[in-house]
Structure 1
Amino acid sequence: MTPSRLVAILRVAAVFAAIGLTILFLGPFTYLLDVFHVADKEAHALIFFGATLGLFAIAPTWRRTDLALAALAFGVLIEVAQGMTGRSMSLMDLTGDGVGILAALVPGWVEQLRRHARTSPDVTFAELRTADRRQASSIRPPQETVARPISPDVATARAR
């Protein structure tokens, strides 16, 4: 199993999860909250926490904030669709979605702060933002990918 194969499997699972979540949010399944003993807003936060982490896993090359915005957009679409299908459209449900998304983002921000504190403790955040390779002003043309040599231990493990 390789990381790329695991990501591919997770992407297939994510398609089914997205379909299931859409059905769950739009269908008449409000009784499920009683079965699991979870309040509606807590359920929204938990579901969107898991969905956002799932997005982070299936799109490793995308920025986490962009994926979080996509999850929030999905939450807005679900609320609008609920309003059109006879269920209640709720700003509080959307707030619950946002809390779950934010909870998924925070550990990444903390890890990024830890990395900056280790690697460039005296550089201001403005300077770090300017040096960020993802900023539009510093976009470089893609470089050719150079294959790294396989270590002897990995080569022998693959030969077996």
Structure 2
Amino acid sequence: MTNPQSAKKVANLGVAWERAFGYVQAVQVKDTIYISGQLSHDSEGKLIAPATLDENGRPADFSQMEAQIRQTYVNTKTLLAEYGATLDDVVEETLFVLDVPSAFAAGSKVRKEMYGRDIPPVASNLIGITALAFPEQIVEITFRAVIDGSVN
């Protein structure tokens, strides 16, 4: 018998790495939605705005940061919709980036655009890291949203 208080509602985007790594894109427990790190890919799993790599297989520049951040928010909006939620329900986000200055510049623009306000009411973290799952990725964003309601 499933305890209704611990029921989980999960969502995926159907990309290959969900099965390969063994995870779901989002989980709702009670009124909270936890969204796994999102990348800039389309519905087929093709990376959008991949960074150009240098001879060592590392990003050669970070000019694709804005486009990657924007697509990441688009993917997040798709996941939130699975729960009847929107970006208005997001309470926290964490950006994991390979270059903090370019992420700060691009993120400040895209976040305002996506949330539709100059100061989104969202706790936000911007963390510089050395690598992500795919060499062409320069940003990954996780989200937490709180909705009024419970798992159906």
Normalising to structure 2: TM-score of the pair? 0.31
Between the two structures, name the one with larger relative contact order (CA 8 Å, sep ≥ 6). 2
Higher normalized helix content (fraction of residues): 1
Higher normalized strand content (fraction of residues): 2
In terms of Rg, which structure is larger? 1
Normalising to structure 1: TM-score of the pair? 0.30
